[in-house]
Structure 1
Amino acid sequence: MCRLACLLAWWLFAASRLYAAPVEASALPAFGLDQAAALRTSQQAIGHQPADYTLRDRTNQPRSLAQFRGKPLLVNFVYTGCFRVCPTSTRALHRAVAAMRDRFGVDQFHVISIGFNQPTDSPMAMHAFALQQQIDDKNWEFLSPRASDVAALARDFGFSYVATPIGFEHTLQVSIVDAEGRIQNQVYGDAFTADSLGEPLRRLLSGSLLSTSVLARSSFSDVLSKIRILCSVYDPRTGKYRVDYSLYIEIAGFLTFVSTLLILLLQEWRARRAMRRERAS
């Protein structure tokens, strides 16, 4: 009985000490990503051009970021040791890319996935990751940077990550880069859709396709492809892009108006020229 009383007294004393002197939150080990800071870092990258890093593709061949300029580029970061989030987001990105390629064309933009956990995310590991996600896209590269470049590369793209006891916590984003290599948009989440990625990409493609210099270098088939992109709209019912024939009608109406105006101006010019000749004679 005495032993039981002593144990009870010791338990009450320990409990009183525990509640009387709580552990400060700052003294506890902190894990995880500062979401607010990560979002600021990501947004600050918009408008900037990442440096021209050299990475290794799945065949261990060097590939520089400058090689992907000339067309829009989608960039995301993964680590191959991730068993849930990275595979899930990559498969979602794959579905969105397939829908956009179906409408915009297979060669209108590039995609690269960068393995940031170096040296674990080697070219061989990235090759295996792509196979696991069943990605066979000639314009989608899986790249491994040098370990010494990872921090600067991530900073240039506004990508944040932090090691945790179970792997990494990192920003879930896709950076949309224009043909000159400048970041134009950041799209967030792990369930990317053709709408969330396709609309900023379509606006980017539409802007570049309408430039005089691009049109001057384009063949007739290229011009038709460009018009096809301009006349594409996202259908949330099917999750795909479709043709908006009203845009075709608007374009046809505009071209008809311009043609009619040019004909009238030409007729007016000829009439004035004929009048000047009559007066001269």
Structure 2
Amino acid sequence: MSASCVWRRLLPRIAAVLLAVSAEQVPAGQPVPPQAEPVFDGEAAYTLSQQALGRRLGDYRFTAADGREVRLSALRGRPVVLSLVYTSCYEICSMTTRALARTVRAAHDVLGDESFVVLTLGFDTPVDTPAAMAAFAVEQGVREADWYFLGGDSATLAALTRDLGFTYQRSPKGFDHLLQTTVLDADGRVYRQIYGEVVEVSWLVEPLKQLVFGVRPEDGALTQIVNRVRMYCVTYDPATGAYRFDYSLYIGMAIGGLIIAAITGFLVREIRHARGV
């Protein structure tokens, strides 16, 4: 018998065996179960995020749309508000960025336009190029001078997100990630983590007030006093959702000063009268 005849007889049997194996793996009459989607562990992500508090970031390098290199060390000396997005996210990342822009403008009204820097980075590095980040900024209506939208390479973003305690993972819809905005102090350390789609004005301004108006050892006595007064005289009004200057402290200090002056004058007059002067 020729070899071709042998194969003709064996092939139906081989096919039957393969079909039997497949039938054992997937029972007849039952649909093939869909592949389970990865589950984002929000509790673990929050824990990692909190563990980053006090951590100093490395001197990472990023690129602007014009090719200019921006190093984190160049931003030190002022607090930095840092957010992470991916530009192909057309809903949540856009909404959080626009909300952050409103909060940043309110913070500038209170603290001054040059009091802090904002940095938004794209963590989907193949897509979030410097040009894509610049286009994203335009789409969200962000025009602040000290707000940088930058891109970086995958190794840099992986190291940065570890330092920040920022967790993200791929999902069928794009990425699942922690809605996290980080406040860095002037030395590049993680000072505060803020969570949520909308960053309320008070959530951002309060830590920035502490950093901008905080007392530093190198400040003179007068500067320390002025910073303390400015820090406590700026209060949040929940009715309007904005900050305002509370002059009650100034008024209280003025009244207290007048009372002390009056008492001092009275005592001086009494002492002089008693001495017959």
TM-score by length of 1: 0.75
Q: Among 52, 73, 94, which residue is 2:59 paired with? A: 52
For 1:197 and 1:51, the matched residues in 2 are separated by: 23
Superposition pairs of residues 232-271 of structure 1, within 5 angstroms: 232-250=234-252, 252=254, 256=257
Superposition pairs of residues 90-101 of structure 1, within 5 angstroms: 90-101=97-108
Between structure 1 and structure 2, the one with the greater Rg is 2
For 1:194 and 1:101, the matched residues in 2 are separated by: 11
Question: Who is 1:106 aligned against?
Answer: 113
Q: Among 199, 206, 211, which residue is 2:216 paired with? A: 211
CA deviation map 1:123-153 (0-9, x unaligned):
1001100000110001111111222211111
For 1:32 and 1:252, the matched residues in 2 are separated by: 59
Superposition pairs of residues 14-163 of structure 1, within 5 angstroms: 28-163=35-170
For 2:254 and 2:164, the matched residues in 1 are separated by: 41
Question: Who is 1:8 aligned against?
Answer: none
CA deviation map 1:197-218 (0-9, x unaligned):
11122222232xx224244897
CA shift at 1:248, angstroms? 2.4
* Aligned-residue RMSD, C-alpha: 2.9
> Displaced runs of 4+ in structure 1, greater than 4 A?
215-218, 222-227, 250-254
User: Does the C-alpha gap of structure 1 residues 217 and 142 become closer, same or farther in structure 2, counting only changes over 3 Å?
Assistant: farther
Is the contact made by 1:95 and 1:193 (CA closer than 8 Å) also made in structure 2? no
CA shift at 1:227, angstroms? 4.4
Listed as ranges, the gaps of 5+ residues in structure 1 are 1-12, 268-281
SS at match of 2:187: coil
Is the contact made by 2:55 and 2:190 (CA closer than 8 Å) also made in structure 1? yes
Q: How many residues align?
A: 237
AA aligned opposite 1:135: V
For 1:201 and 1:65, the matched residues in 2 are separated by: 18
AA aligned opposite 1:237: A
Question: Who is 2:205 aligned against?
Answer: 198
Question: Who is 2:6 aligned against?
Answer: none
CA shift at 1:96, angstroms? 0.5
User: Does the C-alpha gap of structure 1 residues 139 and 216 become closer, same or farther in structure 2, counting only changes over 3 Å?
Assistant: farther
CA deviation map 1:53-73 (0-9, x unaligned):
011123221111111111111
SS at match of 2:175: strand
User: Does the C-alpha gap of structure 1 residues 36 and 105 become closer, same or farther in structure 2, counting only changes over 3 Å?
Assistant: same
For 1:123 and 1:64, the matched residues in 2 are separated by: 14
User: Residue 169 in 1 paired to residue 179 in 2?
Assistant: no
User: Does the C-alpha gap of structure 1 residues 244 and 144 become closer, same or farther in structure 2, counting only changes over 3 Å?
Assistant: same
CA shift at 1:119, angstroms? 2.3
User: Does the C-alpha gap of structure 1 residues 245 and 217 become closer, same or farther in structure 2, counting only changes over 3 Å?
Assistant: closer
% of aligned pairs identical?
Answer: 38
TM-score by length of 2: 0.76
More helix by share: 1
Is the contact made by 2:180 and 2:194 (CA closer than 8 Å) also made in structure 1? yes
CA shift at 1:251, angstroms? 5.1
CA deviation map 1:225-278 (0-9, x unaligned):
874444101111111100111222355568x49x97xx99xx9xxxxxxxxxxx
For 2:84 and 2:164, the matched residues in 1 are separated by: 10
CA shift at 1:223, angstroms? 8.5
For 1:253 and 1:177, the matched residues in 2 are separated by: 39
For 1:28 and 1:100, the matched residues in 2 are separated by: 46
User: Does the C-alpha gap of structure 1 residues 215 and 176 become closer, same or farther in structure 2, counting only changes over 3 Å?
Assistant: farther
Listed as ranges, the gaps of 5+ residues in structure 2 are 1-26, 269-277
AA aligned opposite 1:170: H
CA deviation map 1:45-90 (0-9, x unaligned):
0010011101112322111111111111111101111100000000
